[in-house]
Homo-oligomer: A and B are copies of this chain.
Amino acid sequence: MATDTRLAADLDTASLHGSLEDPALSSMNLLNEIADRYPQAVPFAAGRPAEEFFDTDDIHRALRAFADHLADERGMSPAQVRRTLFQYGRTKGVVHHLVARNLAVDEGIEVDPEAVVVTVGCQEAIYLVLRALRRGPEDVVLAVAPTYVGLTGAARLVDLPVLPVASGDDGVDLDDLLAVLRRARREGLRPRALYVMPDFANPTGLSMDRAVRQRLLDLAHREDLLLLEDNPYGLFRSGRDRVPTLKALDRHRRVVYLGSFAKTVLPGARVGYVVADQRVADRSGEPGLLADQLAKIKSMLTVNTSPIAQAVVGGRLVQQECSLAAATVQEQQRYARNLRQLLDGLARRFPAGGPPAAAVRWNAPVGGFFVVLTLPFAVDDQLLEYSARSHGVLWTPMRHFYDGPGGEHQLRLSISSVTPVQIDLGLDRLAALVADRLGAGP
């Protein structure tokens, strides 16, 4: 009998979009697979929010609160409320006014609700902006490196090269930014924007101080560069006063602000947003908002963000008078306590005194979810797998956040979904891994 060899495969990735052969698109899957194989390992890898505050009844309460808000404050009839929840809806969303109020209350950002596009998580917001900005092969986006893998992945989907800019100790190295910009332009490239996470960046945990933010804004204005400010962790500071966001300081509509409710309300709603108040000229001559251009793309991507999911987030905002800073005090305290415990625990296990552990270094973020460790040996996916299997502790190799070289001796620890007991246990296991790797054996 002849074998039909075509049955072996119907398609080949070599004939599909190039992104599908790119490591950036498989990075999350690969890490999740390792984590799934070792459910008992301490999860210093997961960047997802703590689950201890989840309560299923909250979903019902939030839905009711939003429906009441539509009726009482927006003057909708019961039929209009039902239509808002059930039917196809406004492309830019139905909680835009609450998002704008939240930004005013928590961030001091004043925006026209019409400049807000509610998206399927912040990831869709990133995609919409990159899709709009990539016109031709000369377009490039800059990103502070190491970079959140979601930025790199979305850029791959629109064939937009990502040029790394050094982070330095300030969260962005402005000299390097200027050098990268000028080199790109000399080469005929058109840098469209710089992607930054000024507050407790993923993965470095670094924040920019106010002077750096102001210099970055000045440079962006001078060089005609947009700034894509992503801010999922801003509320989770540890003690100190917050520095204003770039968007709050923006005087020249240089900043496109990317927002997420994944860490402040819940990831399962998949509701984020983008504030895009830039004026865009089109052939009709009448300048409109960049938000309306993004909405045109969204209408062909997801049509609109589920109004039921929006209602869960909108209800939570209504319940909290639009302040998530006030609503997340418990979460803030939990994350701050975890971060302190992690940093103290690292200092105890790797004291400045004696080698070989002295070669272990780490940074000391004042908030957010992440700490970066630098180790005296190579850190890669094989070591992660070994760590999970032999030592029962998970973390993220920093290599995953670099498009080019970088992070070869570093790993990221996340404090968001571990308990105090797990932190101590995980650090003991991490110390054992280090000793193991340095040949001292546990």
Contact = CB atoms under 8 A, between A and B. Distances in A.
B280 A25 contact: no
Interface in A290-337: 290, 293, 296-297, 299-309, 312
Nearest to A4: B252
A26 B299 CA distance: 9
A322 to B, nearest CB: 21
A302 B83 contact: no
A89 B91 CA distance: 25
A56 B66 CA distance: 12
Nearest to A25: B296
A67 B59 CA distance: 12
Given A86-B51, A297-B157, A120 B120 contact: yes
B48 A56 contact: no
Interface string A211-249: 000000000000000000000000000000000000000
Interface residues of A, number: 86
A156 B122 CA distance: 23
Contact of A131 (B59, B91, B157, B282): B157
A29 B63 CA distance: 28
Contacts of A20: 132, 282, 293, 296-297
A55 interface: yes
Interface stretch (A264-272, A349-357, A385-393): A264-272
Contact of A280 (B10, B268, B282): B10
Per DSSP, chain A at the interface is helix
A179 B328 CA distance: 62
Nearest to A121: B303
A280 B16 contact: yes
A231 to B, nearest CB: 17
Contacts of A280: 9-13, 16
A10 B253 contact: yes
A26 B290 CA distance: 14
Interface in A13-43: 13, 15-21, 24-26, 28-29
A8 B269 contact: no
A81 interface: yes
A18 B82 contact: no
Nearest to A281: B9
Nearest to A127: B301
A287 interface: yes
A32 to B, nearest CB: 9
A266 B86 contact: yes
A154 interface: yes
Contacts of A124: 301-302
Contact of A309 (B12, B157, B299, B308): B308
A153 interface: yes
A134 interface: yes
A55 B82 contact: yes
Interface of A: 7-13, 15-21, 24-26, 28-29, 48-49, 51, 54-56, 59-60, 63, 67, 79, 81-83, 85-89, 91, 120-121, 123-124, 127, 131-135, 150, 153-154, 156-158, 253, 262, 266-271, 278-283, 287, 290, 293, 296-297, 299-309, 312
Chain A to chain B: the 3 pairs with minimum beta-carbon distance, closest first = A153-B300, A9-B281, A270-B306
Given A25-B297, A51-B87, A154-B300, 9 more contacts: A9-B279, A9-B280, A20-B293, A29-B296, A54-B82, A54-B86, A56-B67, A127-B301, A306-B308
14 contacts: A8-B279, A13-B280, A13-B293, A16-B135, A17-B133, A19-B296, A24-B300, A51-B82, A54-B83, A55-B82, A88-B268, A120-B270, A270-B304, A306-B309
